[in-house]
Amino acid sequence: MHKRLFIFLVSSLLFLFSVKVSLAIVDPTSASNNKFGIHIFSEKDLENAKSLVNSNGGDWGYVTLVITEAERDHGRFQSVFDQMRRLHLIPIVRLATKASGNTWDAPQEAEIDKWVDFLNSLNWVIQNRYIVINNEPNHAGEWGGRIDPAGYASYLEKISQKLKSASSDFFILPAGLDPSSVNTSSTMTESKFLAQMLQANPKVFDHIDGWTSHAYPNSSTNIYNHELSLIGKDLPVFVTETGWPRNKYSEEQIGRNLINTYQNVWNDPKVIAVTPFILDYTNAPYDVFSWKKPDGTFYSFYTEVQKLSKVAGSPVQKESGQILAAFAQPIIFTGVDFVGAIIAKNTGQSIWAQNNISIGNETGNFYIKGFSLNNIEPMKLGLVLFRAAQSQSDGIYTNSLFLNGSKDQKITNSFSVEAALVIFDKTKLINFFTGTIRNILKI
């Protein structure tokens, strides 16, 4: 059979790489969303959180976690986010200051830049970066011992502006308020608090992207409707705290209440996430809200929520990367497959796997017949092995390899390697060498 010889030469590599710029946050209602979630105290609870919120058809549920000023450790929380990515958990991060006794310090503007630098240094799990700005400021104990609606409005606006300047992917949520509070020297009703925020800054809520609600049964499990009416906004809702304390309700009552509320209240389309407080907590007074017993087992309502039917969420993740090198065997014959390898770096948010990545050839000088790779996590290098076959006749061709993402779209236009494909006819090549040898022998 007539065969052609061709040599695959990598002549130049294209190192340019550009991340797709996000013009705005992603509407969380624009794709399938699993609103089940849980509030955790420590990252050690992530496996149990996943078993709860991603059960029975569910995927990509939510987890609310708190980061204090003293915990702004990039290495620690990048590891936490990487674990959440593997477990398909979406983080909702609540910012906190530091406690002085029973009182949390009021946040200082001098800390804003530190928060922005830290939060923007992390490779987030999904494109939307959900941030809750502090906690229940209508309690003096949550704001340096005083109630200051104007001060909170000012801080909310400033930190939102700076976060948005760093990345338009930050999805800003205000602090959840205590809707059951009354007007005393240490507490204020949420209606009065919100009115005074608006009085101090009428446009303050133009700087948020969603609403945070602490929808406990002592107020209402759908109190968010009243809260939104108070600020005159129609926003996606994140119920980051809710629950029935065991010192007032039996274990069975809590289970029934949760099931009823999930099915008849929190099925509201505007509710994006519900993260009851709290998965595992052993210290008074909040131990009565814990879903986990001191002996390490779970209360029955954990299992009851596990059994509830859920949906598989599909949040948007950025996909980007670099091809650092490409290699192929130097001599290939027509009709015989050749093999090659790509060294690539994942610079996006999704984990590259066999089922969500494919190899493309832009010029069509050869075609990919198959490939294999081990999972490549964000910010890691990986090796992609491929098998291909040529489809051209004699000539010299410019060739381009690239990777496709999960939606079968090229991961940035510059995610490619330029190469020259030189194809030789075997007979001509043999005649060339034969003639050369004869000429040498005549000398």
Quickly state the pLDDT bin for 355 (edges 50, 70, 90).
confident
Please, what is the angle between helix 300-307 and helix 251-264, to 10°?
20
Residue-averaged pLDDT of the chain: 87
Compute the average pLDDT of residues 89-117. 97
Amino acid in the structure at residue 166: A
Compute the average pLDDT of residues 52-65. 98
pLDDT value at residue 428: 59
Reported as half-sphere exposure (CB side, CA atoms, 13 A), residue 314 has a value of 5
* Terminal C-alpha separation, the chain: 35
Quickly state the pLDDT bin for 238 (edges 50, 70, 90).
very high
pLDDT value at residue 177: 98
Return the SS3 of 184: coil
Pick the more confident residue, 421 or 259: 259
* Statement: residue 280 has pLDDT above 60: yes
Lowest mean pLDDT among 2-6, 34-38, 292-296, 362-366: 2-6
Contacts 24+ apart (CB under 8 A), 230-233: 230/190, 230/191, 230/194, 230/195, 231/194, 231/198, 231/205, 233/205
pLDDT value at residue 338: 79
pLDDT digit string, tens, across residues 71-96: 999 999 999 999 999 999 999 999 99
Quickly state the pLDDT bin for 359 (edges 50, 70, 90).
confident
pLDDT value at residue 16: 28
pLDDT value at residue 22: 37
Lowest mean pLDDT among 10-19, 155-164, 318-327: 10-19
In the chain, domain spans:
4-19+318-430, 37-307
Which CATH architecture does the domain made up of 37-307 adopt? Alpha-Beta Barrel (3.20)
DSSP string covering 340-351? EEEEEEE-SSSP
pLDDT value at residue 17: 31
> What is the rounded CA–CA span in Å between residue 304 and residue 255?
6
* Statement: residue 410 has pLDDT above 80: no
Domain 4-19+318-430 class?
mainly beta
Quickly state the pLDDT bin for 15 (edges 50, 70, 90).
very low
Compute the average pLDDT of residues 248-253. 98
Compute the average pLDDT of residues 390-414. 64
* Statement: residue 328 has pLDDT above 80: no
pLDDT value at residue 401: 75
pLDDT value at residue 212: 98
Strand positions, DSSP E, 264-357: 271-274, 321-328, 332-333, 338-346
pLDDT value at residue 5: 30
Q: Which of 175-179, 343-347, 414-418 has the highest mean pLDDT?
A: 175-179
Compute the average pLDDT of residues 180-187. 98
* Statement: residue 20 has pLDDT above 60: no
Residue 145: closest CA among 99, 111, 176: 99
For residue 308, the Cα-to-chain-centroid distance in whole angstroms is: 24
Compute the average pLDDT of residues 236-255. 98
Compute the average pLDDT of residues 248-256. 98
Pick the more confident residue, 153 or 394: 153
Neighbours of 246 (CB within 10 A): 17
Residue 321: closest CA among 291, 350, 283, 298: 350
pLDDT value at residue 367: 77
Lowest mean pLDDT among 45-59, 133-147, 331-345, 379-393: 331-345
pLDDT digit string, tens, across residues 119-161: 999 999 999 999 999 999 999 999 999 999 999 999 999 999 9
* Statement: residue 426 has pLDDT above 70: no
pLDDT value at residue 99: 95
pLDDT value at residue 97: 98
* Statement: residue 415 has pLDDT above 70: no
Give the dihedral of Cα atoms 101, 144, 37, 260; nearest 10 deg: 90
CA distances to 13, 167, 376, 397, 441 from 327, rounded to whole Å, are 11, 36, 19, 16, 37
Q: What is the share, in percent, of the chain residues with pLDDT greater than 90? A: 72
